[in-house]
């Protein structure tokens, strides 16, 4: 018994790859055909082969023909949706590629992949030290054994969870031998195995634990304690035994396969590596060539050599080499400098000598190593810097709990030497998320000046739809370089160490690399930021607003912890009240937080309609509950309990814990690289998600207060997105309304209802307001009918009348969609682009969604640019005119200030003027504000 066998459910891996990369719109560089599933399949396979160190491998595939189980049950797998059209050719290509690379694969008419897997496991159980199954199918739990385990996809495309017999016993409460009886009761929605209706995972496991198997359950049915459960079991007895047959894996197929047939082929052979290039999969070719130690020639081919591998060539990144759904061609890709010279500076004297030799005329990248991801709580453990590619320096500092402290200078001593360089405004500083370093240094009394370039922001501007702008990913994308990850340095789980407990020499390698790679990323990205559309956005908006955001985060806002504790109790009482209401309408008590029990109540007991089904049954998510409003009183109470539960956990319970012990204030963190539109978001806490209109939002805002002797001022743009729409659409009716100061919602209502404006009722105006703000998001008649709780026919008529009133809006929408189809992107007034490859998707839902985004993104993005410009100018005025009042929060179209009453009138006028003059439109921009002791009073 020797070797490790990896058995892969080929269809499952292809499907996982397809959906993981569905939004990326990856295409083959030669044919232009979709290649997301192919790319993901091979990327995952290469990683598995590296990580699992297997000697043998087998791929199994479903046949694509009628299955033998259909003879038992005609509806077996009958409800499954057809395979996506663009996946079919990719799976055929995967077959072809596996064959070309000589990977063993097996497919039999009428036989499912699971049965081939089961039979392979039984046939070779004694021939291998270990057999690993790559699949997420619960049915396969029955074939697990001491030397047979599964890898089940967990998160993303590369994280897997190990499933073995012990896992099954611990997590389900049954043995592997009882899996078929368990599945007989539970059924399987993904395969349309019926099971016993109304029996969920816990119920099925409990029955098996108590009675052992299906036969005993039915033999002793009268001993089942729950009368309702007895009825369910009795009614579905035939289905239970049928389901067991359907769920039983075949393990005795006659397979003419020898152990030697399953050897992992030498896929590192030069000809096989070159195969990927010849087939147009350039990135897979590059990845495999790198793995195999085969250099890339100047024309991108791989060739066999006997010397050491050289670094890869420069070139544009292939369209298949990204997981972004919205992307622009990346700048010319380079390679990280091969030779590295990283030095840990041992003494303050050495630090002085090195700093003296640095050239103030050349940009320098700076990075801090600390104890916390929160810069307002972080303790400084060291600073690294780099001014030449491949060269990095690191000075480690002492920490009270570090065993190395007696060997190291204190942060204050080290910063005293670095301060002239760090605070010199003429010395250009480069960083990756440099706002963090700025705040860390500021908390130590050192003001980082000359901040010039943030590589994270540059990556974001090039690829606004991609959410990965961390240095590890960027190093791979732009430099073809694998960095030391933080997890590799400190460890994970129980083995995780504090950074200050790790040998400074090891930390030095990591820290120097951070500074060095940041500098090299700057060298690749900087030329792109100096070009056309990016130059203004990067140097006049994103970099300056970074400094403003740092000031706001440092300032923070005061909260009243006692108030939130009281409000938490109020929300808890409301939750309990809603629990009673829900149990009343359900006719019995049940666990509201159990998805399975809620499914039973809604779709079996109350028989409410639902067509959104997941693998574990009918969905009970928010969208489903919203669509069910009006069908039964229980729905409103479920939505209420979820609302209060979320507000309690996210805000009232959490906000007091976020108070900084040093400042007594909350310091939210603003993110510039999350929203593709350019909008800011915030975390710890997420202020953008505080409800705007309802009573609960008002109650939450009451807890945000001004410090003693100051007041809160809230200034909000009035109907800014509608004003921007008027500008883009150049609609005479809409522009006239804003220029004359008319009520835009009344004017819209007059057009919708065919009456003079002076006859518009408050209810009509409210409906028109919803229509106004829905249309700019490209709403459909279905969406508007939900928003207004009216029929689709009425909603359709409203939309038609809206476009008849504002003819320019309809024209704008048609033109922007056509522009997007032609150019692949839309842009704001200042040229901020959003790439929408799905505009050409063959899938109607995807293309329609892209059209809606195309319509709204220029509006939302222009609004984001406008408020950023206003923030930059206001902050400049605050500093220039030495105001004691401060800008402390930004939420959507609103700015919140803490104002000294002595400056009240002057400050209000200044901030209002800056907001209204931040950008010039064809219609007036209006900002409205109020003062108060707390945020709610000012809102």
Render pLDDT for 531-543 as a digit per residue (tens, 0 to 9): 878 999 999 999 9
Q: What is the pLDDT of residue 312?
A: 31
Contact 256, 119 (CB under 8 A): no
Q: Which of 30-44, 62-76, 594-608 has the highest mean pLDDT?
A: 594-608
Q: Please determine, for residue 353, whether its predicted confidence score (pLDDT) is greater than 70.
A: yes
Rounded to 10 degrees, the C-alpha dihedral 284/287/291/296 comes to 100
The answer to whether the predicted template modeling score (pTM) of the entire model surpasses 0.75 is no
Any bridge partners for residue 149, and if so which? Answer: 132
Q: Please determine, for residue 301, whether its predicted confidence score (pLDDT) is greater than 80.
A: no
Which backbone phi and psi does 602 adopt, to 5 degrees? -70, -45
Which are the contacts of 858, defined by CB distance < 8 A and separation ≥ 6? 724, 728, 816, 826, 827, 828, 829
Cα–Cα distance between 319 and 871 in angstroms, integer? 36
Q: Whole-angstrom distance between the N-terminal and C-terminal Cα of the chain?
A: 73
Cα 89 vs. chain centroid, distance in angstroms? 29
Q: What is the pLDDT of residue 844?
A: 83
Rounded to 10 degrees, the C-alpha dihedral 90/96/97/100 comes to -170
Q: What is the pLDDT of residue 364?
A: 98
Contact 554, 444 (CB under 8 A): no
Share of the chain above pLDDT 90, in %: 66
Q: Which of 109-113, 207-211, 284-288, 772-776 has the lowest mean pLDDT?
A: 284-288
Rounded to 10 degrees, the C-alpha dihedral 858/863/866/870 comes to -170
**pLDDT category of residue 188 using cuts at 50, 70 and 90:** confident
Across 216-356, where does the E strand assignment appear?
341-345
Q: Which residue has the tokens 């008002």?
A: 698
Q: What is the pLDDT of residue 297?
A: 55
Q: What is the pLDDT of residue 689?
A: 85
Q: What is the pLDDT of residue 309?
A: 29
H-type helices in 172-269, by residue range? 179-186, 201-211, 214-219, 227-235, 237-247
Encoding tokens for residue 867? 């408020």
How many of the other CB atoms lie within 10 Å of CB of 501? Answer: 12
Q: Please determine, for residue 676, whether its predicted confidence score (pLDDT) is greater than 60.
A: yes
Residue 830: closest CA among 469, 540, 456 = 540
Q: What is the pLDDT of residue 308?
A: 30
Cα–Cα distance between 763 and 71 in angstroms, integer? 60
Q: Please determine, for residue 316, whether its predicted confidence score (pLDDT) is greater than 80.
A: no
More confident residue, 532 or 45: 45
Tally helices (H) and strands (E) across the chain. 37, 24
**pLDDT category of residue 66 using cuts at 50, 70 and 90:** confident
Triad 932, 938, 939: Cα angle to 5°: 165
Contact 240, 214 (CB under 8 A): yes
**pLDDT category of residue 303 using cuts at 50, 70 and 90:** very low
- Return the H-helix or E-strand segment holding 167: helix 165-171
More confident residue, 362 or 161: 362
Domain 4-261 has CATH 3.90.420.10: no
Q: Please determine, for residue 873, whether its predicted confidence score (pLDDT) is greater than 50.
A: yes
Q: Please determine, for residue 157, whether its predicted confidence score (pLDDT) is greater than 70.
A: no
Q: What is the pLDDT of residue 778?
A: 83
Which are the contacts of 477, defined by CB distance < 8 A and separation ≥ 6? 317, 321, 322, 330, 333, 459
Q: Which of 76-80, 125-129, 231-235, 742-746 has the lowest mean pLDDT?
A: 76-80
Same CATH topology for 4-261 and 341-530: the answer is no
How confident is the prediction for the chain on average, in pLDDT?
A: 89
Q: Look at residue 893 and give its three-state secondary structure.
A: coil
Burial 270-297 (b: 16+ CB within 10 A, else e): eebbbbbbebbbbbbbbbbbbebebbbe
Q: Which of 87-96, 277-286, 414-423, 605-614 has the lowest mean pLDDT?
A: 605-614
Across 244-396, where does the E strand assignment appear?
341-345, 364-370, 380-388, 391-396
Q: What is the pLDDT of residue 156?
A: 52
Mean pLDDT of 680-692: 89
Assign domain 341-530 to its CATH superfamily. Ribonuclease H-like superfamily/Ribonuclease H (3.30.420.10)
Mean pLDDT of 605-625: 78
Rounded to 10 degrees, the C-alpha dihedral 753/754/756/757 comes to 40
Share of the chain above pLDDT 70, in %: 93
Cα→Cα distances 752→764, 795, 906, Å: 9, 11, 42
Q: What is the pLDDT of residue 225?
A: 85
Q: Please determine, for residue 487, whether its predicted confidence score (pLDDT) is greater than 50.
A: yes
Which are the contacts of 459, defined by CB distance < 8 A and separation ≥ 6? 466, 469, 474, 477, 478, 521, 525, 673
Which are the contacts of 98, defined by CB distance < 8 A and separation ≥ 6? 10, 59, 105
Q: Which of 212-221, 326-335, 596-605, 745-754 has the lowest mean pLDDT?
A: 326-335
Q: What is the CATH number assigned to the segment(s) 676-731+818-939? A: 3.30.70.370
Q: Please determine, for residue 566, whether its predicted confidence score (pLDDT) is greater than 70.
A: yes
Q: Please determine, for residue 299, whether its predicted confidence score (pLDDT) is greater than 70.
A: no
Q: Please determine, for residue 315, whether its predicted confidence score (pLDDT) is greater than 70.
A: no
Q: What is the pLDDT of residue 60?
A: 95
Q: Please determine, for residue 744, whether its predicted confidence score (pLDDT) is greater than 60.
A: yes
Any bridge partners for residue 405, and if so which? Answer: none
DSSP type of residue 269: S
Cα→Cα distances 43→20, 255, 287, 353, Å: 12, 29, 8, 47
Q: What is the pLDDT of residue 816?
A: 95
Convert the pLDDT of each residue in 499-520 to its tens digit.
999 999 999 999 999 999 999 9
Strand 341-345 with 391-396, pairing: parallel
Cα–Cα distance between 407 and 362 in angstroms, integer? 32
Query: Hey, where are the domains in the chain?
Result: 4-261, 341-530, 676-731+818-939
Cα→Cα distances 540→40, 108, 529, 536, 661, Å: 38, 63, 11, 5, 35
Q: What is the pLDDT of residue 305?
A: 35
Q: Please determine, for residue 605, whether its predicted confidence score (pLDDT) is greater than 60.
A: yes
């Amino acid at each position: 018994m020797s070797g490790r066998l990896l058995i892969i459910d080929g269809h499952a891996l292809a499907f996982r790859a397809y959906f993981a990369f569905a939004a990326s719109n990856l295409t083959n560089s030669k044919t232009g055909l979709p290649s997301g599933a192919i790319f993901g399949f091979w990327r995952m396979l290469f990683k598995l082969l590296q990580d699992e160190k297997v000697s043998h491998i087998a791929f199994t595939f479903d046949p694509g023909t009628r299955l033998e189980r259909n003879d038992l049950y005609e509806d077996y797998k009958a409800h499954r949706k057809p395979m996506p059209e663009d996946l079919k050719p990719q799976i055929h290509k995967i077959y072809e590629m596996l064959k070309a690379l000589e990977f063993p694969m097996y497919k039999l008419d009428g036989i499912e992949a699971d049965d081939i897997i089961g039979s392979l496991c039984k046939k070779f159980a004694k021939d291998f030290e270990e057999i690993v199954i790559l699949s997420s199918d619960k049915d396969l739990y029955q074939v697990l054994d001491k030397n047979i385990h599964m890898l089940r996809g967990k998160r993303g495309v590369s994280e897997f969870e190990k499933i073995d017999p012990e896992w099954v016993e611990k997590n389900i409460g049954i043995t592997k031998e009882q899996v078929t009886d368990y599945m007989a009761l539970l059924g399987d929605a993904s395969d349309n195995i019926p099971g016993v209706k109304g029996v969920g995972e816990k119920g099925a496991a409990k029955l098996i634990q108590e009675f052992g198997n299906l036969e005993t359950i039915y033999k002793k049915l009268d001993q089942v304690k729950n009368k309702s459960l007895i009825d369910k079991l009795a009614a579905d007895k035939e289905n239970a035994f049928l389901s067991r047959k359907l769920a039983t894996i075949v393990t005795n197929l006659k397979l003419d396969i020898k152990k030697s047939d399953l050897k992992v082929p030498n896929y590192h052979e030069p000809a096989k590596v070159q195969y990927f290039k010849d087939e147009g999969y350039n990135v897979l070719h590059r990845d495999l060539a790198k793995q195999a130690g085969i250099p890339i020639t100047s024309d991108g081919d791989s060739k066999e050599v006997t010397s050491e591998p050289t670094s890869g060539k420069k070139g544009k990144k292939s369209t298949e080499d990204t997981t972004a759904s919205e992307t622009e061609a990346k700048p010319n890709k380079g390679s990280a400098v091969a030779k590295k010279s990283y030095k840990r500076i041992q003494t303050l004297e050495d630090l002085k000598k090195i700093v003296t030799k640095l050239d103030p005329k050349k940009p320098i990248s700076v990075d801090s190593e600390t104890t916390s991801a929160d810069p307002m709580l972080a303790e400084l453990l060291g600073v690294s810097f780099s001014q030449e590619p491949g060269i990095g320096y690191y000075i480690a500092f002492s920490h009270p709990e570090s065993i190395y402290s007696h060997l190291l200078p204190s942060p204050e001593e080290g910063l005293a030497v670095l301060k002239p360089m760090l605070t010199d405004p003429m010395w250009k500083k480069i960083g990756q998320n440099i706002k963090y370093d700025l705040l860390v240094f500021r908390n130590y009394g050192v003001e980082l000046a000359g901040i010039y370039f943030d590589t994270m922001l540059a990556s974001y501007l090039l690829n606004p739809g991609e959410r990965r702008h961390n240095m590890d990913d960027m190093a791979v994308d732009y430099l073809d370089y694998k960095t030391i990850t933080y997890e590799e340095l400190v460890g994970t789980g129980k083995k995780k160490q504090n950074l200050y407990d790790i040998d400074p020499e090891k930390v030095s390698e990591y820290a120097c690399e951070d500074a060095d790679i940041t500098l090299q990323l700057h060298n690749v990205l900087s030329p792109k930021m100096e070009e056309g559309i990016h130059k203004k956005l990067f140097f006049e908006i994103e970099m300056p607003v970074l400094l403003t955001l740092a000031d706001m985060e440092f300032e923070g806002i005061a909260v009243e912890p006692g108030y939130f504790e009281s409000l938490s109790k109020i929300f808890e009482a409301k939750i309990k009240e809603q629990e009673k209401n829900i149990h009343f309408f359900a006719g019995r008590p049940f666990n509201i937080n159990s998805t399975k029990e809620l499914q039973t109540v809604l779709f079996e007991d109350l028989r409410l309609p639902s067509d959104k089904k997941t693998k574990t049954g009918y969905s009970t998510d928010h969208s489903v509950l919203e669509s069910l409003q009006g069908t039964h009183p229980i729905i409103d109470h479920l939505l209420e309990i979820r609302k209060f539960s979320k507000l309690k956990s996210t805000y009232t319970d959490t906000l007091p814990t976020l108070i900084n012990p040093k400042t007594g204030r909350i310091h939210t963190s603003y993110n510039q690289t999350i929203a593709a539109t350019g909008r800011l978001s915030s975390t710890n806490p997420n202020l953008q998600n505080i409800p705007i209109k309802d009573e609960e939002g008002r109650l939450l805002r009451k807890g945000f207060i001004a410090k003693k002797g100051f007041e809160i001022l809230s200034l909000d743009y009035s109907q800014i997105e509608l004003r921007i729409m008027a500008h883009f659409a150049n609609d005479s009716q809409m522009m006239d309304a804003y220029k004359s100061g008319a009520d835009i919602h009344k004017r819209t209502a007059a057009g919708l209802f065919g009456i003079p404006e002076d006859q518009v009722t408050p209810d009509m105006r409210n409906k028109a307001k919803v229509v106004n703000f829905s249309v700019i998001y490209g709403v459909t008649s279905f969406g508007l009918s939900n928003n207004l709780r009216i029929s689709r026919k009425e909603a359709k008529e409203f939309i038609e009348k809206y476009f008849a009133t504002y003819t320019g809006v309809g024209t704008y929408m048609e033109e922007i969609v056509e522009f997007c189809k032609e150019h692949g992107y839309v842009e704001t007034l200042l040229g901020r682009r959003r790439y929408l490859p799905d505009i050409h998707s063959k899938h109607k839902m995807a293309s329609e969604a892209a059209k809606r985004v195309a319509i709204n993104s220029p509006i939302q993005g222009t609004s984001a640019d406008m408020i950023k410009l206003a923030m930059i100018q206001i902050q400049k005025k605050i500093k220039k005119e030495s105001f004691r009042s401060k800008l402390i929060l930004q939420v959507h179209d609103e700015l919140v200030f803490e104002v000294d009453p002595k400056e009240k009138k002057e400050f209000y006028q200044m901030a209002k003027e800056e907001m209204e003059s931040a950008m010039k439109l064809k219609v007036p921009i209006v900002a409205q504000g109020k003062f108060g002791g707390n945020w709610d009073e000012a809102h």
